[in-house]
Amino acid sequence: MADSPAQTVGDVPEENRKIAARLREYAELLEQQGEDGFRVRAHRSAAAYLDRLQEPLSDLLERGGTEALIGLPGIGRAIAADIVEMLTSGRWRQLDRLKGEVTPEALFRTIPGIGATLAHRIAGAGDIETLEELEMALRLGDARISGIGPRRRQAILASLSECLSRFQRAPLQGQPREEPPVSLLLDADALYRRKAEAGELTRIAPKRFNPEGQAWLPIMHARRGDWHLTVLFSNTARAHELNRTLDWVVIYFHRDGEPEARRTIVTERRGPLRGRRVVRGRESECEAHYAAPPEALRAQ
């Protein structure tokens, strides 16, 4: 979609300006937190275009769906999905994370059928932090989410499915998403913990479990091949309850044009991997990784 010669700053809809401002704020935070520049440039370029776009983004979305946004200059699949999230929910999880303002309770309350009490109970039940993880837990009948009758469960699942389809997130119950190799995740984990201990990383002040507003949470951005990584210590209720906040590391990852996913890395406390750093959900791969000869690891 080409720029119209008649476009002027005064004709730009307010919603376009607000989303452009969020994209620019995201780019500035990435830069301040040490990102290598690729995502910084991409988001600033998208913001500059939206600052000139006269047609409301919501009209484009209603008329042509996410594909209409992807057709705009400088707006790839990942940024288009972020714009849809902002338009439909009023929030943007990635920006909130960089600002330390991510609270699962607030995210869950954006779903019809989930009030403050239920959102608090879900968030305090374990490591359910995202809408995708909530959808999976509800579909599998996770015992950690109790007190929801069958009809209410189905209504919430229907709302979640609609919401996630708008965000263009890959469904967890479908084809498995390709992920970085465990060697890459474990290397990023080791680098993050080393830099955090040396005080070399920017620290943010998470809103959750931090009444004093202290900037204690180190954040690291990295690029490994075509993978973009954001790495932080876990700030979940479960991590605080078990006093593992400085042991559990969460790595968010995505490739250009793909939705974001995450894995948690912990120190295993039992079994053959006891004492080793392990990617949760990929334990068998970690076991093979540690069993491989050193030359094979260097070749990965």
DSSP of 131-173, one letter per residue?
Answer: HHHHHHHHHTT-TTS-S--HHHHHHHHHHHHHHHHHTTPPPTT
What pLDDT was estimated at residue 1?
37
Place of tokens 């600002």: 99
Q: Does domain 9-90 have CATH number 3.40.190.10?
A: no
| Residue 122 tokens, joined | 């879900």
What pLDDT was estimated at residue 143?
65
Continuous segment of H or E residues that includes residue 222: strand 217-224
Residues of the chain with pLDDT under 70: 1-10, 125-127, 142-144, 166-176, 257, 294-300
- 227-233 β-sheet, strand order: 202-204, 217-224, 227-233, 249-254, 261-267, 277-279
What pLDDT was estimated at residue 247?
97
What pLDDT was estimated at residue 253?
94
Domain covering 104-166 in this structure, CATH number: 1.10.150
DSSP state, residue 258: S
What pLDDT was estimated at residue 295?
57
Quote the pTM value: 0.77
Using DSSP's 3-state secondary structure scheme, residue 290 falls into helix
Burial of 117 (0-12, 13-18, 19+ CB in 10 A): exposed
Alpha helices in 34-130 (DSSP H): 38-50, 57-70, 77-89, 93-99, 104-108, 116-123
Please, where in the chain does CATH 1.10.150.110 lie? Answer: 9-90
Place of tokens 């989303």: 19
